[in-house]
Every structure is written in C-alpha cells, then in structure tokens.
C-alpha cells in the first residue's frame, strides 16, 4: 500500500476520534459510530491502532469511552508513568503505560 494512503487514513482516524470525543456528551450514538468507523479504517488499512484510539475503547465491553465523560482517567503514582482508565459503562479498570 502507498504510504500516502496510509497517511490519509491516519488523518481520518484522528479526525474521527476527535469528533467522537467532542460528541460524546451531546450525541453519544454519533460518537459511538464515529469511534467504530475509526476502528474499521484501522483494520481496513492494516494500520496499527494509534494510542489515542486505544485508550478510548474499553478493553472489556469494547464500547467507546470518552475520557472524562464515560471513563475516569487517573494518573498512577509509581515511577513508571501510567494511567488508570475506568469504564463507567461496565466498571472495568485497566492500566496503560504512557509511551515516552
């Protein structure tokens, strides 16, 4: 695949995530659709799912969870930089290491 196409796909993914997050409060259905569309683009273009996209999906119930709206994000206190994300929909909490 052409690198240019991959770049365009990545840009679309970023745009979709951003608008999914901003729609999460007012229009949850739309934001859910935009988030799953972003995921489908990743699969279709075989793009490694970007970090921003990985933290906005619950590991357990697979729903789109907008940071601060339907998920809680707390910073870990260990020396390793990490965040803990709790899903408000199913209550699952998971830890993510912040890439340096």
Contact residues for Zn ion, defined by CB under 5 A:
58, 60-61, 87, 89-90, 92
The residues pairing with 35 across neighbouring beta strands, listed in sequence order, are none
Query: Which is closer to Zn ion, CB of 22 or CB of 86?
Result: 86
Annotate 47-78 with DSSP letters as a single string.
PPPPHHHHTTB-TTT--B--BTTTEEEEE--S
Query: Which is closer to Zn ion, CB of 34 or CB of 63?
Result: 63
CA–CA gap between residue 88 and residue 67 (Å, rounded): 10
Query: Which is closer to Zn ion, CB of 5 or CB of 61?
Result: 61
In the complex, least distance from residue 98 CB atom to Zn ion, rounded to whole angstroms: 21
In the complex, least distance from residue 94 CB atom to Zn ion, rounded to whole angstroms: 9
In the complex, least distance from residue 62 CB atom to Zn ion, rounded to whole angstroms: 7
CA–CA gap between residue 61 and residue 58 (Å, rounded): 6
In the complex, least distance from residue 47 CB atom to Zn ion, rounded to whole angstroms: 24
Query: Which is closer to Zn ion, CB of 9 or CB of 64?
Result: 64
Using left for φ > 0, alpha for ψ between -120 and 50, and beta otherwise, residue 33 falls in alpha
């Amino acid at each position: 695949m052409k690198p240019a196409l991959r770049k365009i796909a990545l840009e679309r993914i970023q745009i979709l995530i951003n608008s999914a997050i901003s729609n999460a409060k007012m229009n949850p259905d739309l934001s859910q659709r935009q988030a799953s569309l972003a995921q489908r683009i990743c699969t279709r273009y075989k793009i490694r799912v970007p970090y921003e996209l990985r933290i906005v999906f619950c590991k357990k119930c697979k729903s789109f969870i907008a940071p601060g709206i339907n998920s809680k994000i707390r910073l870990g206190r260990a020396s390793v930089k990490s965040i803990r994300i709790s899903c408000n929909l199913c209550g699952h909490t998971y830890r993510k290491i912040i890439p340096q």
